[in-house]
Amino acid sequence: MQTLRTIFQLRSVYVVSRVYWVFVCFFTAFRLLLFFSVPSRLTGLPFGDTLYAFFMGLRFDTVIAGYLLALPFLLLSVGIFIARLERILLKVAFIFLFLGGFITLWGGAADIPFFNQFFTRLNTTALEWMDTPLFVVSMIFQEWRYAIYFILFCGAMAFYFFLLRKIMRRTQSLPQVEKHYRLKTVVTIVCVCLIFLGIRGRVDEKSPIRVGTAYFSNNAFLNQLGLNPTFTFIRSALDAREEKNKPIQLMDNQKALRLVQRYLHIDAPREDIPLARAVKPIGAENRMNVVVILMEGMSAFRLQHYNKTENHTPFLDSMTKRGLFFENTFTSGIHTFNGVFSTLFSFPAIYRQHPMKESAIFRYNGIGDTLKRAGYSTSYFTTHDGQFDNIEGFLRANGFEHIITKADYPSDKIKTTLGVPDDYMFEFAMPILRARAAEKKPFFAAFLTASNHGPYYLPDYFTPRAKNIDDQMIEYSDWSLQKFFTLAQSEAWYKNTLFVFIADHGASIGHTFDMPLGYTQAPLIFYKEGIAPQTITKIAGQIDIYPTIMGFLNIAYTNNTMGIDLRKEEREFIFFNGDDKYGVANTRWLYYGHKDGRANLYDYKRGNQNVLNKNSAMALAMKTYAEAHLQTFQYLIQNPKMLYIGNFK
Instruction: Say what the pLDDT of residue 177 is.
Output: 66
Assess whether pLDDT exceeds 50 at residue 135: no
Assess whether pLDDT exceeds 60 at residue 363: yes
Number of neighbouring beta carbons within 10 Å of residue 351:
18
Contact 298, 522 (CB under 8 A): yes
Which of 333, 330, 364 has the alpha carbon at shortest distance from 348?
Answer: 333
Reported as a single tens digit per residue, the pLDDT across 385-402 is 888 888 999 999 999 999
Report the CATH number of the 255-642 domain: 3.40.720.10
> Taking residues 527-535, what's their average pLDDT?
97
- The rounded distance, in Å, linking the Cα atoms of 560 and 563 is 9
Assess whether pLDDT exceeds 60 at residue 134: no
Reported as a single tens digit per residue, the pLDDT across 34-60 is 999 888 788 889 999 999 999 999 999
Percent of the chain with pLDDT over 70: 92
Q: What is the DSSP string of 194-231?
A: HHHHHHH----SS----GGGG--SS-HHHHHHTS-HHH
Phi, psi of 164 (to 5 degrees): -65, -45
Contact 338, 541 (CB under 8 A): no
Assess whether pLDDT exceeds 50 at residue 118: yes
Reported as a single tens digit per residue, the pLDDT across 450-473 is 999 888 899 999 999 999 999 999
Cis amide prior to 455 (ω within 30 degrees): yes
Instruction: Say what the pLDDT of residue 513 is.
Output: 76
Reported as a single tens digit per residue, the pLDDT across 400-453 is 999 999 999 999 999 998 899 999 999 999 999 999 999 989 999 999 999 998
Reported as a single tens digit per residue, the pLDDT across 541-590 is 999 999 999 999 999 999 999 999 999 999 999 999 987 789 999 999 99
Instruction: Say what the pLDDT of residue 117 is.
Output: 63
Q: What is the DSSP string of 590-624?
A: EEEEETTS-EEEEETTT---B-GGG-HHHHHHHHH
- The rounded distance, in Å, linking the Cα atoms of 110 and 447 is 40
Cα dihedral sign, 250-256-259-260: positive
Assess whether pLDDT exceeds 70 at residue 69: yes
Q: What is the DSSP string of 517-533?
A: GGGTEEEEEEE-TTPPP
**Could you give the residue range(s) of every CATH 3.40.720.10 domain in the chain?**
255-642
Query: How sure is the predictor about 143, in pLDDT bands with cuts at 50, 70 and 90?
Result: very low
Reported as a single tens digit per residue, the pLDDT across 370-390 is 999 999 999 999 999 888 888
Phi, psi of 44 (to 5 degrees): 80, 10
Instruction: Say what the pLDDT of residue 139 is.
Output: 43
Assess whether pLDDT exceeds 70 at residue 130: no
Phi, psi of 352 (to 5 degrees): -90, 5
pTM for this one?
0.79
Assess whether pLDDT exceeds 60 at residue 272: yes
Instruction: Say what the pLDDT of residue 519 is.
Output: 87
Instruction: Say what the pLDDT of residue 607 is.
Output: 82
**66-80, 252-266, 346-360, 634-648 — most confident range:** 252-266
> Taking residues 126-141, what's their average pLDDT?
49
- The rounded distance, in Å, linking the Cα atoms of 146 and 558 is 38
Instruction: Say what the pLDDT of residue 591 is.
Output: 96
Assess whether pLDDT exceeds 60 at residue 518: yes
Cα distances from 528 to residues 35, 212, 309, 438, 496, in angstroms, run 47, 34, 29, 20, 8
Contact 566, 326 (CB under 8 A): yes
Instruction: Say what the pLDDT of residue 136 is.
Output: 45
